[in-house]
Amino acid sequence: MRLSRNVSMATGLRYKGKGPMLTFVLHRIGGLGIASFVGIHMMSSYFGGAIGQAANVIYQNWAFQLVIFFCALFHAINGLRITIMDLWPRSLEHQQEAIWIEWAVFIPLYGTAAYIILINGLAG
């Protein structure tokens, strides 16, 4: 049952899935980001040592915090939409509207947090 794909990478990148496709990709990137951050964080706090200290320096960097907060918040909000829509399948007809609501929740929350992270980070 090997999957045969007749689509090249370039064609795949040109796929115009629009809003739902964008949330799918960001959900994936967010999940990978959380998994790698939590995995490294757990290892460094368990084993400690010089490598653990080096990892902690990375987490305290404002650029890293901007990225990881984007991953966590988007994954949480998009995951809530997916959970609600999958448990009440009739709402799937309104997926487009649900994604608009999702961005309306995400942008103010992330914008506020990003502003605070940036202000604190650039102040030193």
Partner 1 sequence: MSDRKLDFKQRGLNFEMLMWIFTRFSALGMYLLILVGIIGAMVMGARTHMNMADVLRWGFMPNISHVSNTELVDIAPWETIFWQLIGSALLLLAVSHGVHGLVSIVDDYITTPGGRKIVRLISIVMVAFFSLVGLGILWNYKPF
Q: Which parts of this chain interact with partner 1 (CB under 8 A)? A: 1-3, 28, 31-32, 34-35, 38-39, 42-43, 45-46, 72, 76, 79-80, 82-83, 86-87, 89-90, 92-93
**Distance of closest approach, residue 40 Cβ to partner 1, in angstroms:** 11
Residue showing tokens 């404002």:
62
Of 1 and 57, CB closest to partner 1: 1
**Distance of closest approach, residue 124 Cβ to partner 1, in angstroms:** 17
**Distance of closest approach, residue 107 Cβ to partner 1, in angstroms:** 18
Residue showing tokens 């103010």:
108
Whole-number CA gyration radius for the chain: 18
**Distance of closest approach, residue 14 Cβ to partner 1, in angstroms:** 18
Tokens representing 45?
């706090």
Cα 99–chain centre separation: 15
For 1-124, where are the alpha helices, taking DSSP H only? 9-13, 18-47, 49-59, 62-87, 95-123
Of 12 and 50, CB closest to partner 1: 12
